[in-house]
Amino acid sequence: MKIQNATKQKKQAQKILKKTTLLLFLSATVFIFSCTKKSKVDYDLDISETLRWHVATEPPSLDWTIATDTTSSHITGLLMEGLTRHGFKAAEVTTEPNLAMSWESSKDMKTWTFSLRQDVKWTDGVAFTAQQIIDGWERLLNPKTGAEYANFLFNVKNARAYLEGNIKDFKQVGVSINDKGQLIVALEAAQSYFPSILAHHSTFPIRKDLIEKYAGKWTEPGNHVGLGAYKLKIWDHDKAVVLERNENYFGKKPKIKYVLGRIITELSTALNMFKIGDLDVVDDFPSPEVRMLRDTKEYRLFSILAVYYLGLNVKRPPLDNVKVRRALSMAIDREEINNILEKEKIPAYNIVPPGLLGHDANIGLKFEPETAKKILDDAGYQDRSKFPRLQFGFNSSENHQRIAENIQAQLKRNLGLGVELVNEEWKTYLKSLQANTYQMFRMAWVGDYPDADTFIGLMVTDGGNNRTQWGNKRYDELVKLGVSESDKEKRKQIYFEAQRILNEQEVPIIPIYYYRAHRLVNARIKNYPQNVMDKFDLDDTEIIK
Amino acid sequence: MNIAMLNIMLCRFAGPFILLVLFASVVVSFLGYEVTAPVLWLDGILIILFFTYYTISQGLTFYVFRRILQTFFVLWVIATMTFGLLRIIPGGPFDQEKALAPEVKAAIEEKYNLNAPLYEQYGNYLLRIAKGDLGTSYKYYDRNISDMIADSLPNSFQLGIFSLILAFLVGIPAGVYAAANHNTVKDSTTMILAISSVSLPSFLVAAIMITIFTFKLGILPPALWDGTAFYIMPVVVLGLRPAAIIARLTRASVLDVIRSDYIRTARAKGLSETVILYKHVLKNSLIPVLTFAGPLAAGILSGAFIIEHIYNIPGMGKHFIMSVTNRDYPLVIAATLIFSFLLIISNLIVDILYTYFDPRIKLS
């Protein structure tokens, strides 16, 4: 009986099993068909009309008032325009009309009047107005925005006070619209290059209505609007950004229809993709590859406005002695350092890079090891063993390490000095610099706007980025004079004098090299932009079909 | 239908059905199809149902309940420690090469409430987490941390699950094979391969594979994450090391079990060697492998930084490293909590599975 029951149960179970198998099979089929094939590699773009470009990191923000990094500025540069723009056709960077057709200043250069274009429309069809610029500046200076580039407008009357909250009404800040529809800007102090600053994305107009409507999501595709040559089509976070040509752009229309920016953080990965033809441009690649790539036709090398330097803390012995500082500067052969960097940089002896008014390669202390030795002897250190311990700090990176080791070797060889190298993780390093931990440290400066002032102004007494504790009254005076001087020749002389103080007499910093950037561009791309600001303008760029 | 029938039904059909659905999801996903949300929900619900049923039927309800309560406590301790450690390490989120003007810095600190006393920041932050709000990133302005995780975690999960399956599919048979051929050339060859796979760094294996499969043979893409061809290399590279470890663990454990009395009995009964190995030996040899599987799963699922970096997979891995470099406090904490949660849950699952593989183990 028991056995019979068991058999019966088994048969029943087998029946159910058959039915279930069928059911399972059916549901599995439905299940598979409910899933859709994804094909996103090229976002269905026509590759013959698409520039496939390497974006080195997920853009932190496409909100141009807030963004501070290179990636974001490259992209917003295509999506948006400012009152002025930079021109790179001449030897020195020029400031060209853009949303502003023309401008003029009062004699004392404290009041500027901008006449704006009336025919410009945003990508959603709304007209561009002067009020949108005021809105943008209000937002940049509003403490609630927390914009890191708010200092760009600090010279505008009462701008600082508004940021600090001492003035609540933005009408008291020095920007207004007159009855002709022109934008009037009142400055605290004369500033000859003020229009040049307005080419920076932090000062661009905004659409307050959309920012209020979408809050943090206004930079997403669909919500985002701009005045630029391209509009934002897709932002697939951490993967890609796709831009599409703006057919209603007021300026010169670009020839390339789409820009596909692939976000690739690892340089060698980007290089691999370039090699198999999946990318048209890589903006950077690992330095050991330079030797392999420099002779290819894809390789490009160009100057950018940036300088790599050593800071010397002038309050810390033995560097409080100016003779020691001069000796150090003269004992470091910049050419030798450039050699270990595959000769991709330009040896620097002063702070203003080529391409700017105020640059003169002859200013600065040249490499003279014998003189350096004598100066050090003069400073009272004939007996090198009496020379105090010298610490040289830098942030951990393969390149900085190589440079620091080379400098260490050179100082040993040329002066007989021992230097102790210390490296730290980036943010820890910045904290150490704030605390004046090191006597010598490495730093770099990238120009925010194409004017010598951004470099010269770096070293003013108590300047936020002057980490050497150095200060000089005459130098500070020259910086002020330089900002307000409109005569080019006079301005040049002012900057020459300032650099002689900085790089020949006082030497609180030792410039090592001016940057040059390298990149690879596929042969199918013609006229890829290349300029000292590394501005990404595709006006003339073409794809050869 | 009586209880016995229900049990038979559940064991006979529900188990295989769940496995089939899960397996189908993985296969579909591997073939480059988007696994839709309802299917993912179905997968999740089935797994939870299965574990709930198993927990109740084995009388483990109280145990699991207690472990889940413990989880909250552990997560709170971890959140607090991370919060504290982040404030101790030098450098803040807005320290950078270009020093900010003091007025600007003050405004930013005000915006992110970084100027408030620490206890207040801590209180606010715990309160927000309790509400399930992970906050917004400091580095990626105004992006919700939950959105960032929702964008990246599925990719890491995908990579992780493929690699785990590969690791088990390769590791266990390899271990059994080596043990069955104990002290022969087959054994030593398998083990030499396993040892080399453990010792070779994954970035090297990745580079070698890219050179071969992309540049020499031209059959696999060097990077990105958009379909089967893209999955193969990262999955193999990531799965290789765990596969080797599993093979070694399995081999040792199988050798242990194979000498026990009941295996001798099975042999005496005349069972075939395959049946003995895969039915009687294997099930009892899996305990050490399971112990290893818990932390392994948590580690692999929450993102493999190097592999994701090399193959440009938009996963969680980079957030673990970059959020610390950027001092992006909310993201660091979120990433740490996710990893901890995965670790705790996978260990819990492993503990429950112990009782299945070895009924002598009693959890209390």
Q: What is the pLDDT of residues B11-29, one digit of tens each?
A: 667 777 788 888 888 888 8
- Interchain pair B309, A265: CB under 8 A: yes
Tell me which of A448-457, A478-487, B176-185, B350-359 is least confident: B350-359
A35 closest CB neighbour out of B39, B97, B101: B39
Q: What one-character DSSP code corresponds to residue A36?
A: E
Cβ-based contacts of B37 with chain A (< 8 Å): none
Give the residue from chain B lying closest to A27, CA to CA: B21
Residue finishing a domain among A158, A185, A206:
A206
Extended beta strands in chain B, E state: 33-34
Q: Which residue has the tokens 């932090």?
A: A202
Cβ distance of B33 and A266 shorter than 8 Å: no
What's residue B193's pLDDT? 93
Burial class (CB in 10 A: 0-12, 13-18, 19+), B26: middle
Quickly state the pLDDT bin for A31 (edges 50, 70, 90).
Answer: low
Q: CA of B223: which chain A residue's CA is closest?
A: A269
- Residue of chain A minimizing CA distance to B210: A272
What pLDDT digit, counting tens, does each position of B323-351 carry? Answer: 999 999 999 999 999 999 999 999 998 89
Choose the closest CB to A151 out of B33, B91, B104: B104
Q: Which residue of A has its CA nearest to B142?
A: A216
Residues of chain B by 3-state class (helix, strand, coil), percent to 5: 75, 0, 20
What's the confidence (pLDDT) of residue B364?
A: 66
Q: How far apart are CA A254 and CA A529, in angstroms?
A: 12
Q: Is residue A250 part of a domain?
A: yes
**A536 close to A367: Cβ distance less than 8 angstroms:** no
Select the residue of A13, A24, A58 nearest B20 (Cβ to Cβ): A24
Alpha carbons within 13 angstroms on the beta-carbon side of residue B150 total 8
In a domain, A226, yes or no: yes
Coil vs helix vs strand at B76: helix
Q: What length does chain B have?
A: 364
Q: Per the CB < 8 Å rule, is B34 touching A239?
A: no
Average pLDDT of the segment spanning A343-355: 95
Q: What is the CATH number of the domain that holds A535?
A: 3.40.190.10
Q: What φ, ψ does residue A240 adopt, rounded to 5°?
A: -160, 160
Mutate to test the interface with A, among B19, B312, B328, B332 (most CBs of A within 10 A): B312
Q: Looking up tokens 């070698």, which residue turns up?
A: B208
Q: Give CA A190 to chain center in angstroms.
A: 27
CB B263 within 8 A of CB B276: yes
Domain co-membership, A280 together with A382: no
Contact B330, B136 (CB under 8 A): yes
B311: nearest CA partner in chain A: A269
- Is residue A137 situated within a structural domain? yes
A vs B: CB pairs below 8 A: 178
DSSP letter string, A229-292: SEEEEEEETTTEEEEEE-TT-SSPPPS--EEEEEE---HHHHHHHHHTTS-SEES---GGGHHH
- Nearest Cα neighbor of A513 from A308, A360, A352, A329 is A308
**CB-CB under 8 Å, A36 with B33:** yes
CA distance B326 to chain A (A): 8
Q: Check CB contact under 8 Å for A276 and B214.
A: yes
List pLDDT tens digits, range A398-420.
899 999 999 999 999 999 999 99
Rounded to whole angstroms, the Cα distance separating B244 from B172 reads 9
- Whose tokens are 């997920």? That residue is A58
- Per DSSP bridges, beta strands B33-34 and A36-37 are antiparallel
A87-90, long-range: CB < 8 A, 24+ apart? A88/A531, A88/A532, A88/A533, A88/A535
In this complex, which of B17, B142, B310 lies closest to A24 when CB atoms are compared? B17
> Start-end ranges of CATH 1.10.3720.10 in chain B?
145-357
Nearest to A60 by CA among A52, A70, A50, A46: A70
What stretch of H or E contains A210? helix A208-214
Q: At residue B316, what are phi and psi to the nearest 5 degrees?
A: -75, -25
- Three-state secondary-structure class, residue B261: helix
A318 and A410 together in one domain: yes
Residues A401 and A268 both lie in one domain:
no
Bridge partner residues of A231 (DSSP): A244
List the single range of A40-49, A220-229, A465-474, B155-164 with lowest mean pLDDT: A40-49
Do A233 and A201 fall within a single domain?
no
User: Are A124 and A174 within one domain?
Assistant: yes
Please give the full DSSP string across A297-328, using - where no structure is assigned. Answer: TTEEEEEEEEEEEEEE-TTSTTTTSHHHHHHH
A525 neighbors A543 (Cβ within 8 angstroms): yes
**Which two structure tokens, joined as six digits, stand for A337?**
């350092």
* Cβ pair B39:A145 closer than 8 A: no
Distance from the A58 Cα atom to the nearest Cα atom in chain B, whole angstroms: 9
| CB-closest option in A34, A146, A264 to B312 | A264
Q: Is the pLDDT of residue A1 over 60?
A: no
Task: Give me the torsion for CA of A461, A465, A466, A469, rounded to 10°.
Answer: 90
Range of A294's domain? 41-61+215-300+521-543
Q: What is the mean pLDDT of residues A238-245?
A: 95
Inspect the interface and report whether the beta carbons of B214 and A272 lie closer than 8 Å. yes
Residues A424 and A314 in one domain: yes
pLDDT for position B244: 95
The pLDDT value given to residue B32: 83
What residues have CB less than 8 Å from B25, skipping those under 6 apart? A31, B35, B39, B40, B43
DSSP string, A344-370: -SEE-SSSSPTTSTT--TT-S----HH
Closest residue in B to A220 (Cα–Cα): B143
- Give the ipTM of the model, two decimals please: 0.89
Domain membership of residue A348 (yes or no) is: yes
Query: What letter would DSSP give residue A506?
Result: I
Question: Inter-chain contact B97–A20, Cβ cutoff 8 Å?
Answer: no
Confidence of residue A101 (pLDDT cuts 50, 70, 90): very high
Please indicate, yes or no, whether residues A510 and A364 belong to a single structural domain of this protein: yes
Cα within 13 Å of Cα(B263), Cβ side: 21
| Closest listed residue to residue B251, CA positions, set B198, B197, B192, B191 | B191
Number of domains in chain A: 3
Which residues have C-beta within 8 Å of that of residue A98, sequence separation ≥ 6?
A81, A82, A83, A84, A85, A199, A251
Share above pLDDT 70 across residues of chain A, in percent, rounded to a whole number = 94
* Amino acid (one-letter) located at B163: S
CB contact under 8 A, A216 and B143: yes
Residue A275 counted as domain residue: yes
User: Are the beta carbons of A427 and B99 separated by less than 8 Å?
Assistant: no
Q: Residue B108 carries which side chain, given as an amino acid letter?
A: I
Contact list, A67 vs chain B (CB under 8 Å): 141
Highest mean pLDDT among A86-95, A518-527, A531-540: A518-527
For residue A431, give how far its alpha carbon lies from the nearest alpha carbon of chain B (Å): 5
Q: Does domain B145-357 have CATH number 1.10.3720.10?
A: yes
CA distance B79 to B75: 6
The residue of B5, B98, B158, B313 whose CB has the most chain A CBs within 10 angstroms, and thus the best one to mutate to test that interface, is B98
Evaluate the CA torsion angle A289, A293, A299, A305 in order and state its sign. Answer: positive
The residue of chain B nearest to residue A25, with distances taken between CA atoms, is B20
Residue A369 has pLDDT above 90, yes or no: yes
Last residue of a domain, one of A156, A182, A206: A206
Structure confidence by residue, pLDDT tens digits, A53-67: 999 999 999 999 999
User: Residue type for A298, please?
Assistant: E
CA-CA distance, B162 to B234, in Å (whole number)? 10
In this structure, are A236 and A324 located in the same domain?
no
A19, A269, A394, A395: best mutation site toward chain B, by most B Cβ within 10 Å? A269
pTM of the predicted model, to two decimals?
Answer: 0.89
SS3 A176: strand
Mean pLDDT of chain B: 89
Based on the domain organization, do A161 and A224 belong to the same domain? no
CA–CA gap between residue A340 and residue A406 (Å, rounded): 9
Mean pLDDT, 10 residues at a time, chain B of 364 residues? 66 76 86 83 87 86 92 93 91 83 85 88 89 89 90 92 94 93 94 92 93 95 91 95 94 92 90 86 88 87 88 92 91 92 90 85 75
User: DSSP character for B57?
Assistant: H
State how far Cα A22 lies from the chain centre. 62
Tell me how far apart the alpha carbons of residues A259 and A261 are, in angstroms, rounded to a whole number: 6
Contact call for B104 and A13, based on CB within 8 A: no
Nearest CA in chain B to A30: B39
Q: How confident is residue A261, by pLDDT bands cut at 50, 70 and 90?
A: very high
Q: Which residues pair with A230 in a beta bridge?
A: A245
Distance CA B309, CA B315 (A): 9
DSSP character for B216?
A: I
Phi, psi of B270 (to 5 degrees): 90, 15
CA distance A522 to A273: 12
Q: Are residues A292 and A405 in the same domain?
A: no
CB contact under 8 A, B140 and A427: no
Q: Do A291 and A382 belong to one domain? A: no
Report how far residue A190's alpha carbon sits from residue A167's, in angstroms, rounded to the nearest whole number: 22
Q: Which of B17, B103, B142 sits opposite A216 (nearest CB)?
A: B142
On whether residue A33 sits in a domain, the answer given is: no
Tokens of A411: 């100082």
Secondary structure element (H or E) that encloses residue A434, with its range: helix A426-434
Enter the DSSP assignment of B277. I
User: Confidence class of residue A269 from pLDDT cuts 50, 70 and 90?
Assistant: very high
Task: List the single best residue of A25, A31, A188, A460 to mutate versus B (max B Cβ within 10 A).
Answer: A31
Q: Which of B24, B141, B227 sits opposite A66 (nearest CB)?
A: B141
Residue A11 scores a pLDDT above 90 = no
Of A206, A226, A248, the residue at which a domain comes to its end is A206
pLDDT at residue A3 tops 60:
no
Residues in A closer than 8 angstroms to B224, CB to CB, are 41, 262, 273
Q: Which residue of B has its CA nearest to A142?
A: B107
From chain A, the residues in CB contact with B218 under 8 A are 276
Based on the fold, state whether residues A318 and A172 are members of the same structural domain.
Answer: no
Backbone torsion region of residue A156, taken as left when φ is above 0, otherwise alpha when ψ lies between -120 and 50, otherwise beta: beta
